[in-house]
């Protein structure tokens, strides 16, 4: 059900919430679309049950909406996200005095499944990065760029959107640090090592000048036509490279982020330092990587100990 098919009392609230997300919350375009999609779905369901204003929302209605989502095959993680969105929406409505009572206070989300992320072994990354270095040796600009992208993703653990948004001035080559604008427009500084520094310097000297155009602006990484590289291009690149390895189920740029975090913890890095590097707002999010490390330790123990 689109906005215009909803009762005015519901569609007006959805429009006001959209303005709140763009203004006060300043969330990313992707997050905004996800929030509004969830709330639109909820309000459409509420309208189908006879609701015409936000005050008609009640706990049973919210639970029935989630039940419909579950029956349609939504995963537990998706249901948990939608529950959180609804709680944000009704809390906003209460603050704005659009409702007198928050119907989502007792709305419980299903526990999220904490699956272990795909992690590359150090030997696999050595092989992958060695292949990229060899490909970049002849100076073909996209090959030089690809090497720098993968080196930087693994060295810093940044998200693919953060990498695509980098400008040249975000680099501090002397200190080997990167200024990153993360979720919620939060800025953080992330270190990177010598191999990534060499690859990025090579890109800036030999690759970028050959692709740069008048419309390139300050973007660190460029596509074949000289515009800022987009997330889709980076995802396709990394997926293709990981698939070519042939001995891993890991896929996408997030696998490099997972691998960076796991290898840092395996090497003795402090959990809070890794949290800061990754830009996690909660330490609990970072702690999943300790589970990955423990799982790998357990497998090593079972393979090596005679009485395992």
Query: pLDDT tens for residues 104-125?
Result: 998 876 665 555 557 888 889 9
Residue 154 tokens, joined: 């693994």
278, pLDDT greater than 90: no
Q: How confident is the model at residue 272 (pLDDT cuts 50, 70, 90)?
A: confident
241, exposed or middle or buried, with CB in 10 Å at 0-12, 13-18, 19+?
A: middle
Residue 252, by phi and psi: left (phi above 0), alpha (psi -120 to 50) or beta?
Answer: left
Q: What is the pLDDT of residue 302?
A: 74
* SS3 at position 189: strand
User: What is the residue extent of each domain of the chain?
Assistant: 3-95, 122-304
- Dihedral pair phi/psi, residue 203, rounded to 5°: -60, -45
Of the candidates 216, 189, 215, which has an alpha carbon nearest to the alpha carbon of residue 204?
Answer: 216
pLDDT of 301 over the 90 cut: no
The count of other CB atoms within 10 Å of the CB of residue 118 is 17
- Annotated active-site positions, please? 159, 183, 254, 257, 280, 289
Q: How far is CA 77 from CA 33, 99, 116, 165, 260, in A?
A: 17, 28, 14, 27, 24
State how far the Cα of 80 lies from the Cα of 101, in Å rounded to an integer. 22
Q: Tens of pLDDT along 145-161? A: 999 999 999 999 999 99
In this prediction, residues 251-260 reach a mean pLDDT of: 88
Contact between 182 and 188 under an 8 Å Cβ cutoff? The reply is: yes
Query: What's the pLDDT at 3?
Result: 46
Tens digits of residue pLDDT in 198-243: 999 999 999 999 999 999 999 999 999 999 999 999 999 999 999 8
Question: Do residues 192 and 176 lie in contact, with contact meaning Cβ atoms separated by under 8 Å?
Answer: yes
- pLDDT tier, 64 (very low <50, low <70, confident <90, very high otherwise): very high
More confidently predicted of 52 and 304: 52
CB 127, CB 241: distance < 8 Å: no
Helix residue ranges, H only, 72-216: 76-95, 122-136, 141-156, 160-164, 194-202, 208-211
CATH class of domain segment(s) 122-304: mainly alpha
Considering the chain, what is the average pLDDT of its residues? 87
């Amino acid at each position: 059900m689109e906005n215009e098919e909803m009762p005015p009392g519901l569609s007006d609230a959805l429009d006001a919430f959209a303005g709140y997300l763009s203004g006060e919350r300043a969330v990313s375009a992707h997050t905004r679309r996800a929030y509004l999609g969830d709330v639109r779905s909820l309000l459409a369901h509420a309208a189908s049950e006879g609701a015409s204003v936000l005050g008609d929302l009640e706990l049973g209605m919210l639970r029935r909406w989630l039940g419909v989502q579950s029956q349609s095959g939504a995963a537990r993680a998706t249901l948990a996200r939608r529950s959180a969105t609804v709680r944000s929406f009704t809390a906003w409505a209460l603050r704005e005095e659009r409702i007198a009572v928050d119907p989502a206070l007792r709305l419980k989300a299903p526990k999220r499944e904490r699956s272990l992320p795909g992690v590359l072994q150090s030997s696999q990354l050595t092989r992958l990065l060695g292949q990229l270095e060899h490909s970049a040796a002849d100076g073909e600009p996209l090959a030089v760029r690809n090497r720098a992208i993968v080196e930087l993703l693994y060295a810093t653990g940044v998200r693919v959107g953060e990498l695509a948004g980098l400008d040249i001035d975000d680099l501090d080559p002397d200190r080997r640090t990167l200024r990153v604008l993360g979720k919620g427009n939060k800025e953080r500084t992330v270190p990177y090592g010598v191999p990534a520094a060499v690859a990025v310097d090579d890109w800036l000297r030999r690759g970028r000048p050959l692709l740069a155009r008048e419309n390139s602006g300050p973007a660190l990484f460029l596509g074949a036509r000289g515009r800022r590289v987009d997330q889709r291009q980076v995802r396709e690149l990394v997926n293709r490279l990981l698939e070519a390895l042939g001995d891993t189920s890991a896929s996408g740029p997030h696998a490099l982020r997972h691998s960076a975090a796991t290898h840092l913890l395996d090497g003795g890095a402090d959990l809070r330092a890794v949290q800061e590097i990754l830009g996690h707002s909660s330490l609990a999010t970072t702690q999943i990587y300790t589970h990955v490390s423990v799982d790998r330790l357990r497998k090593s123990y079972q393979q090596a100990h005679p009485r395992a």
